[in-house]
């Protein structure tokens, strides 16, 4: 579905909300390229709550914090606590894994796998400390294989932070999952996997390849310009993605923008 598409009226779907790349900071008024990231996340959450559509699961797909501070992670935890559902977190390239884990350990957010509503959800850690690009360790890939082997018939969504395929932006080619081909080969050989979902690219991506729906979503703060050769910021509003999933493996998904959020983006920036 496109950003403006109307969701289906399938009865009793499993509703999943993706929030990605909020880039929160310890400073309550901390800004990223001109946007106060806590305020933009608040605007997203307010709009989600105003829709009247209640999530059964939230996937927070990395770059939760820009500064890696526990204060930022607690700010995110407190904001998503308004939803009465599990929230899965995993790290992006800006996150500090020990700091993040200190906030979410022994909570539902530390879960990497959820089985609910006839679906399996698997979160992978593609972060590489000290680097912008991603990679999946041998242990991470084996974990994925084990989860898939345990549920060979269960519709599955695999989520991670970094993009495992080319997304059409030349400057992003070097900052995706370095062994993305290995991951995609595994997923292509796993027909129960219906969705691969990621963050990191701060823009909408939607491609169907065989049994796989490959999806990425706008950030809850700044956006990057699609189809750009060099780093480029977009003026589009913060956003989020809904997925409505049927027990038969059917998928409906769409993106919403918080168009009422007032912002002045630093369009001349050459990085973040």
Least confident segment among 8-12, 23-27, 107-111, 253-257: 8-12
- pTM (two decimals): 0.93
Which CATH number do you get for residue 98? 3.60.21.10
Cα–Cα distances in angstroms (integers) from residue 257 to residues 48, 65, 88, 222, in the given order: 10, 21, 22, 12
Which band of pLDDT confidence, cut at 50, 70 and 90, is reported for residue 106? Answer: confident
pLDDT, tens digit (0-9, with 9 covering 90-100), for 218-240: 999 999 999 999 988 888 999 99
Instruction: Give a yes or no: residue 266 inside a domain.
Output: no
Spell out the long-range contacts of 264-269 with Cβ–Cβ below 8 A and sequence spacing 24 or more. 264/34, 265/33, 265/34, 265/35, 265/222, 265/233, 265/234, 265/235, 266/33, 266/34, 266/233, 267/233, 267/235, 269/33, 269/231, 269/233
Instruction: Give a yes or no: residue 234 inside a domain.
Output: yes
Name the residue with higher pLDDT: 146 or 32. 146
Instruction: Give a yes or no: residue 102 inside a domain.
Output: yes
Instruction: Give a yes or no: residue 3 inside a domain.
Output: no
Q: Which of 82, 79, 87, 84 is nearest to 59 (CA)?
A: 87
pLDDT of residue 107: 80
Number of domains within the chain: 1
pLDDT at 10 over 70: no
pLDDT at 14 over 80: yes
Cα–Cα distances in angstroms (integers) from residue 229 to residues 58, 86, 160, 181, in the given order: 32, 38, 24, 22
Instruction: Give a yes or no: residue 263 inside a domain.
Output: no
Name the residue with higher pLDDT: 6 or 66. 66
| % of the chain surpassing 70 pLDDT | 93
Instruction: Give a yes or no: residue 5 inside a domain.
Output: no
Domain span at residue 196 reads 14-257
Instruction: Give a yes or no: residue 25 inside a domain.
Output: yes
């Amino acid at each position: 579905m496109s950003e403006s598409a109307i969701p289906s009226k399938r009865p009793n779907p499993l509703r999943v909300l993706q929030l990605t790349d909020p880039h929160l900071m310890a400073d309550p008024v901390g800004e990223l390229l001109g946007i106060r990231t806590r305020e933009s996340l608040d605007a997203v959450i307010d709009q989600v709550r105003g829709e009247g559509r209640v999530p059964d699961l939230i996937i927070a797909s990395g770059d939760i914090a820009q500064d890696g501070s526990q204060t930022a992670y607690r700010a995110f935890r407190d904001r998503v606590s308004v939803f009465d559902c599990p929230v899965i977190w995993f790290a992006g390239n800006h996150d500090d894994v020990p700091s993040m884990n200190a906030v979410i350990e022994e909570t539902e957010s530390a879960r990497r796998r959820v089985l609910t509503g006839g679906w399996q959800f698997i979160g992978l850690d593609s972060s590489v400390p000290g680097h912008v690009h991603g990679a999946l360790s041998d242990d991470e890939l084996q974990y994925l294989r084990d989860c898939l082997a345990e549920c060979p018939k269960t519709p599955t969504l695999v989520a991670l932070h970094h993009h495992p395929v080319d997304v059409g932006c030349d400057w992003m080619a070097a900052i995706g999952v370095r062994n993305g081909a290995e991951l995609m080969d595994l997923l292509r050989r796993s027909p129960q996997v219906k969705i691969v979902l990621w963050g990191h690219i701060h823009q909408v991506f939607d491609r169907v390849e065989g049994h796989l729906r490959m999806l990425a979503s706008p950030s809850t703060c700044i956006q990057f310009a699609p189809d750009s050769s060099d780093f480029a910021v977009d003026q589009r509003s913060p956003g989020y993605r809904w997925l409505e999933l049927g027990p038969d493996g059917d998928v409906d998904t769409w993106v919403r923008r918080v168009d009422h959020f007032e912002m002045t983006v630093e369009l001349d920036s050459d990085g973040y």
